Structure 1
């Protein structure tokens, strides 16, 4: 497969694929980094070590990592092209990341957050944009009919909107920054306003846009001085409605395979994983404990490769099942604190992704042990396996099997 060297969105890229595959199959057993350096550039080594290895042989797949489905589509190409534009995005500068964090974590209703995203992305259908695309005959703003309708003019600059802005409790903020473009105006608002006022500002801007739409399409408007009060009421009604929604309760859900601590066997198997991003390695911890909590056996497995945490968790479960089956241990439950994996195993909703590839392998292994299942436990109940997994990050690259108490390590 040939690909542009500047793109790293596929998990294996470029002409190194064939050689890397031969070496990468043996990575968990393990290939010294020096051997990799003798064949690849350092940038290629980083990419190789980030490829998740399932541990079982299967055909190679090309996976687009920016989509949860793993597939490259027209939509994928659109988002890739959009990401190169000079607008704030979740993957651009520190300022932009701060911008989007403020927007998406505000208290405003979701549709208003989406509206603010469209404002900043310059994708709301203002007259100047529609005129440039030959959709309408005039670029002038429908309210004043004096100036072209841009995002700034429609929300900040039009003289017809000044009465609405004057009714704001933070009108001084508007007068101070109204000359800025909409993005800089919002950035200044993030610094000057608290979380509630910022959300009210978002609701107010959305109300101004609704005022414009109602005037064009229905020929009706709200008095300018009432728009701010309407925005405040709308915001607090939304907060009240959110408080009346019943909180999510795990106890109210079907028990499925979420653990309640009971098992048909007196032995309990706990699993966890740990990663070292800087050291480009990860580790699995598997602990077998009796009812009293005394450790009967365990495995610490350090591995080379800087993989995502959830993939490390899935690989830990995969190797734990292999280990239990190899030793014919008398148990029917494996416990992990990664509920996402347990839910995906129960749903069997697979995509083309490295995680789902490992989960399919887990399901295949479970088919050989019909009574064996994977259950969720809370992190507090899985501290020993977590400690063992972190212990593995400090070991040499080999496997340590232990019996009895792990404290002697």
Structure 2
């Protein structure tokens, strides 16, 4: 049965990320795609499994799985795997070791999404491998690289860490720190490809939703704000547009149509509440104002504490409105702000770490400890000088008595990320230990 368009649109909104007005529910199509991409990843990295051998015999007997290009035939299972391959290809690139397996101009190997490919006009042989850009020592041939690529791409290549030992090239997943594909990272990447905002207006909305969900208020309060921003509150104006019979006039003030903005803040009966919440003075809150615009303006102007209090007050206003309309309640508007102050204080106190525990959390002082008898400890550090385009590395190796067995300081012509620089320092430390016979 084909689902109605309205239901499909509602499901689409719910599956959008929280930063984009959604609730973060999984999009089943993208999640399915991410799961199948994981299967293709396993076929690449575990070629000796029974499943990989069977598929190779059937579909690519004379090549490797990374060279598969014609995928228009085969069983439903194979076509499903190929669908996952499309997602994996979009977010993966080659990790260069010896460079013998990677084509300079045809393969994806530069750390630059989304293409990951070389954009400079071909100067070298069109079928040349990345290995020809390296010296016999394994380091990059800087003169050749500067002569063959545009300056920005030459810088990207020279910043790639060099593998100084012979090892095969490997495929890595760019959107994971460890380079390993996970369904979670694949799903988020798939969502980014479809839902990523492209205008400054959407970026502003995204920043608003990012500010809403981390608030230290109950989930029911955040959900009410979310519904109000979507015009999904069952107030008279919204119900009338959905085809319900009856007028749109507010049941509290009996003077204006009841929109989410009117019911939650703009109603004439809430004038004393607006006066008590003086921090919202000067923020437009007329009936022609959209509730999401009002909340975004409040978030940009108010302090974090005042904005959290405002959210609690709005939730209590909605509670008072429903009590008046459905139960003929008598909650006075003056009590709303006082109740909200007490409620917010109690909630945050109940969800915070006791002050006595915080005071007793001592910070352990770091002190170097020698390794066990017969062992050696390698300590490394890296520092980056972005203006000079260099990375400094320091290495020291000591025995169980604290005696220095070897040490080294190196300066590399590269601009790496802090994580990559520390990783290179550790690698150089291990190489120093090996060369020292330890």
Question: TM-score w.r.t. structure 2 length?
Answer: 0.50
Q: Residue 311 in 1 paired to residue 424 in 2?
A: no
Structure with the larger RCO, 1 or 2 (CA within 8 Å, 6+ apart)? 1
2:434 paired residue number: 325
Cα separation, 2, equivalents of 1:81 and 1:264: 54
Inter-CA distance 195–328: structure 2 relative to 1 (3 Å threshold): same
CA contact (8 A) 1:49 1:305 kept: yes
1:335 paired residue number: none
Of the three residues 176, 180, 189, the one matched with 1:76 is 189
1:285 paired residue number: 394
Segments of 5+ residues of structure 2 without an aligned counterpart are 1-68, 70-88, 92-107, 121-125
Cα separation, 2, equivalents of 1:66 and 1:119: 34
Inter-CA distance 67–77: structure 2 relative to 1 (3 Å threshold): farther
2:37 paired residue number: none
1:12 paired residue number: 116
Cα separation, 2, equivalents of 1:111 and 1:88: 26
| Matches for 1:241-256 after TM superposition, within 5 Å | 241=350, 242-244=352-354, 246-247=357-358
Deviation by residue 1:53-100 (Cα, 9 ceiling, x = unmatched): 5656344325242798645645423234433254677xx58x987x78
2:307 paired residue number: 198
Cα separation, 2, equivalents of 1:101 and 1:197: 17
Segments of 5+ residues of structure 1 without an aligned counterpart are 330-409
Cα separation, 1, equivalents of 2:425 and 2:290: 51
Deviation by residue 1:128-187 (Cα, 9 ceiling, x = unmatched): 9x979xx9545998965964745x45544345654543442x26x345432565566456
Inter-CA distance 104–239: structure 2 relative to 1 (3 Å threshold): same
CA contact (8 A) 1:155 1:205 kept: yes
1:40 paired residue number: 149
Question: TM-score w.r.t. structure 1 length?
Answer: 0.53
Deviation at 1:105, TM superposition (A): 8.2
Rg (Cα) greater in structure? 2
Cα separation, 1, equivalents of 2:157 and 2:322: 53
Deviates more, 1:187-196 or 1:19-28: 19-28
Deviation at 1:309, TM superposition (A): 1.0
Deviation by residue 1:333-389 (Cα, 9 ceiling, x = unmatched): xxxxxxxxxxxxxxxxxxxxxxxxxxxxxxxxxxxxxxxxxxxxxxxxxxxxxxxxx
Inter-CA distance 251–271: structure 2 relative to 1 (3 Å threshold): farther
Deviates more, 1:70-79 or 1:8-17: 8-17
Cα separation, 1, equivalents of 2:322 and 2:113: 40
Inter-CA distance 306–261: structure 2 relative to 1 (3 Å threshold): same
| Matches for 1:3-402 after TM superposition, within 5 Å | 8-9=112-113, 12-13=116-117, 21-22=130-131, 30-31=139-140, 33-49=142-158, 51=160, 57-65=167-175, 70=181, 73-86=186-199, 108-109=216-217, 111=219, 118=226, 125-126=232-233, 137=243, 147=257, 149=259, 152-153=261-262, 155-159=264-268, 161-162=270-271, 164-168=273-277, 170=278, 173-174=280-281, 176-179=283-286, 185=294, 189=298, 192-208=301-317, 224-241=333-350, 242-244=352-354, 246-247=357-358, 261-265=369-373, 268-288=377-397, 297-329=406-438
Equivalent residue pairs, number: 313
Deviation by residue 1:112-133 (Cα, 9 ceiling, x = unmatched): 896699589x5574469x979x
SS at match of 2:384: strand
